[in-house]
Structure 1
Amino acid sequence: MKSEDLRKVVFRKYEDGDGVCNIFRDINGSLGLNTIKRWCKIIRHTGSIQLSTSPGAPRLARASKIIEKVKHKFDGKEMVTTRRLATDYGISKSSAHRI
């Protein structure tokens, strides 16, 4: 199930009067208990589940701007190391290596 579908299910069950634990059991582990608690709290305060931003840290290393900059760096004839790319663009060595 997609997140939007899960939000609809949680919203419907919460509106029907189900508690957080009952919703968690009915969804059968598709969502974490803390996520359901957070969504129910949002429903109580706003009346709907409208997530303004996705949770977690922003994904900067694999952003298209960084990827284009790194690829452009390879256009020259000089040798470029992943360590140098990582320090120049503020990303980890493993992300620079993947790019």
Structure 2
Amino acid sequence: MKSKEIQELVLRLYNDGCGGNEIHKSLRGLISKRTIFYWLKSIKATGTIQLQGPPGCPMLVRSKGLIQKVKHRLSNKKPISARSLAKKLNVSPM
């Protein structure tokens, strides 16, 4: 099952009057209890399961175009530091 389908199933079971433990038993361990109770908390607060993006820093952007630009700049005879190159290309130095 896809995550969206599981979320809809949990929402339907909750609206039918099932509790968190009953939902976990009916799903036979497909989703952890912690996740189910997190979703139920979201349902009680907003009426739906609204998942946020992953926590932490955003992913690094590695496109073919950017990789080619970096390779081209590094192939020059004049050495350049990674930090200054990142500033020039307006990207993260990591």
* TM-score band w.r.t. shorter chain: 0.5 to 0.7
* Match in the other structure for 1:94: none
The offset of 1:58, in angstroms, is: 4.7
Matches for 1:4-83 after TM superposition, within 5 Å: 4-51=4-51, 53-61=52-60, 63=61, 66-67=62-63, 68-76=65-73, 77-78=75-76
Name structure 2 gaps, 5 residues minimum: 87-91
Q: In structure 2, what is the Cα distance between the partners aligned to 1:29 and 1:5?
A: 15
Question: Across the two proteins, how many residue pairs are aligned to each other?
Answer: 81
Runs (4 or more) in structure 1 with deviation over 4 Å come to: none
Query: Could you tell me the TM-score, scaled by structure 2's length?
Result: 0.66
Greater RCO between the two (CA within 8 Å, min separation 6)?
A: 1
The offset of 1:5, in angstroms, is: 0.7
Between structure 1 and structure 2, the one with the greater Rg is 2
